Amino acid sequence: MQKIIKFNDLKKADLIVDAIYKGGTAGNAGDDPLHKLLGCGIQGGFRYLGSSRQLSSKLVVLYTSMADPDWPDYIDEQTGQFIYFGDNKSPGHLLHDTPRKGNVILRDCFEAIHTGDRKKTPPFFVFSKGSSGRDVIFKGLAAPGAPGLGSTEDLMAIWKSKKGQRFQNYKAIFTILDVPVISKSWVIDLMDGNPFSNNCPKAWLNWVSKGVYTPLMAAKTIEHRLKEEQMPRNLQGKKIIGEIFSYFKGNPHGFENCAAELAKLMDRNIVSCDLTRPWMDGGRDAVGKYRIGLGESSIEVEFALEAKCYNLKNAAGVRDTSRLISRLRHRQFGIFVTTSYVHSQAYKEIKEDQHPVIIISAGDIVQILKEAGYNTKDGVRDWLKSNFPKGNI
């Protein structure tokens, strides 16, 4: 069970990864638990102690609901990467002209790490919204950037359009460090302006002094995903899948085009994905090539793709997955795409027999589209109409 820290105990509480910190019940701004925990502000996604200018914040809190469809903050628990969007989320302002100066903090901190001046960077504490009231969940201590990412990849200004007006916001990539517990003593040291005290976590000190990231990586604990783990997480995700299912209903070969594009959106290293002709289909809806390596030294690996446009209530079974598996040749892998989920028996067989097959289920499709900027039912409908005109599928 998750550890729960009561509101009255917050001032003395350590920060424990995935613990719940209770909000108050008075019905006013004083119910905010983050202020009691860290002394930061009580509103917004960016909350800091100190000033937002010239890297003078003593600490920064990144707060997220993890539920904004237009700005899908996301933690990859297997790699420790955390994607967080800035605070210019509506038209009418320049990129850095936001009330809480969150984008200024991002700009200055990432500029500091790109120039090797990491000592000026305040620690980032990541919290997500809890399930009730003002409760929050501590997700970890984060450092700007990630292993293997260059200076043009970890902080990107992206364009968005809302009601016909264009504007920019930041997409930032952080690394959640392998620090399961932040002591209250270090928090107090930070408040006192002493970040590198004896209470400083080793992972933070190593990052500041050497630029070494030590990600908090959580390996999978199950061999196959259950039905609920393959499905959309909320109603909006279900609506997106419903839109795709309705669009291709009665036209399974049309969905094959869509499945191929989804695979390309999932991984940019897919360089080609050619559909097989329906009347010559030997069990593969598409065949493609995946590039490994750089430039002239790269190689291309073949893969096969199978697509099933099913209602969310109907699982893809052994017969569906076996059709793909039986036709994989040596050094090939397979991609199985479905607007539903893969039945437990079929999924188990893939894992137990170690077949090189990637499953893209309904929930994965929603996540792929969100990361590509298609976050709503209407946005996905426009994407479908633009890429798969019904007269051509």
pLDDT at 391: 53
Task: Tell me, yes or no, whether 200 and 283 share the same domain.
Answer: no
Task: Tell me, yes or no, whether 167 and 66 share the same domain.
Answer: yes
pLDDT at 163: 82
pLDDT at 147: 93
Q: Is residue 86 part of a domain?
A: yes
pLDDT digits (tens, 9 = 90+) for 223-253: 688 999 999 988 999 999 999 999 998 887 8
pLDDT at 221: 58
pLDDT at 322: 92
Task: Tell me, yes or no, whether 105 and 245 share the same domain.
Answer: no
Q: Give the C-alpha separation, 343 to 347, whole Å.
A: 6
Task: Tell me, yes or no, whether 82 and 148 share the same domain.
Answer: yes
Q: Is residue 220 part of a domain?
A: no
Mean of the pLDDT values across residues 304-322? 94
Task: Tell me, yes or no, whether 110 and 171 share the same domain.
Answer: yes
Task: Tell me, yes or no, whether 39 and 180 share the same domain.
Answer: yes
Intra-chain end-to-end CA distance of the chain, in Å: 49
Q: Is residue 282 part of a domain?
A: yes
Mean of the pLDDT values across residues 18-46? 92
Q: Give the C-alpha separation, 156 to 257, whole Å.
A: 30
Structural domain that includes position 45: 4-210
Mean of the pLDDT values across residues 364-373? 91
CA distances from 265 to 105, 141, 298 (A): 30, 30, 20
* Cα radius of gyration (the chain): 23
The CATH number given to whatever domain includes residue 50 is 2.30.280.20
pLDDT at 128: 97
pLDDT at 51: 76
Task: Say whether pLDDT at 310 is over 80.
Answer: yes
pLDDT at 393: 53
Task: Tell me, yes or no, whether 86 and 177 share the same domain.
Answer: yes
The CATH number given to whatever domain includes residue 298 is 3.40.1350.10
Of the residues 155, 182, 210, which one is the last residue of a structural domain?
210
Q: Provide, rounded to the nearest whole percent, the portion of the chain with pLDDT above 70.
A: 95
Q: Is residue 216 part of a domain?
A: no
**Number of domains making up the chain:** 2
Q: Is residue 58 part of a domain?
A: yes
Helix/strand/coil (H, E, C) string of the chain? CCCEECHHHHHHCCEECCCEECCCCCCCHHHCHHHHHHCCCCCCCEEEEECCCCCCEEEEEEEECCCCCCCCCEEECCCCEEEEECCCCCCCCCCCCCCCCHHHHHHHHHHHHHCCCHHHCCCEEEEEECCCCCCEEEEEEEEECCCCCCCCCCEEEEEEEECCEEEEEEEEEEEEECCCEECHHHHHHHHCCCCCCCCCCHHHHHHHHHCCCCECCCCCCCCCCCHHHHCCCCHHHHHHHHHHHHHCCCCHHHHHHHHHHHHHHHCCCEEEEEECCHHHCCCCCEEEEEEECCHHHCEEEEEEEEEECCCCCCCECHHHHHHHHCCCCCCCEEEEEECCCECHHHHHHHHHCCCCEEEECHHHHHHHHHHCCCCCHHHHHHHHHHHCCHHHC
Task: Please say whether the beta carbons of 57 and 41 come within 8 A.
Answer: no
pLDDT digits (tens, 9 = 90+) for 40-98: 988 889 999 987 676 778 999 999 998 887 888 999 999 999 999 999 999 988 999 99
| Residue 351 token pair | 């894992």
Q: Is residue 129 part of a domain?
A: yes
Of the residues 161, 177, 210, which one is the last residue of a structural domain?
210
CA distances from 49 to 62, 155, 201, 318, 329 (A): 12, 23, 19, 55, 58
Mean of the pLDDT values across residues 106-130? 95
Q: Is residue 39 part of a domain?
A: yes
pTM of the full predicted structure? 0.77
Task: Say whether pLDDT at 338 is over 50.
Answer: yes
pLDDT digits (tens, 9 = 90+) for 267-303: 999 999 888 755 444 455 788 999 998 888 899 999 9
Nearest of 216, 103, 119 to residue 155 by alpha carbon:
103
Q: Cα-flanking dihedrals φ and ψ of residue 262, to 5°?
A: -65, -40
Task: Tell me, yes or no, whether 174 and 232 share the same domain.
Answer: no
Q: Compute the C-alpha angle 168/171/173, nearest 5°.
A: 165
Give the least confident one: 14-18, 142-146, 161-165, 363-367. 161-165
Of the residues 181, 210, 239, which one is the last residue of a structural domain?
210
pLDDT at 279: 46
Residues facing residue 300 across a β-bridge: 291
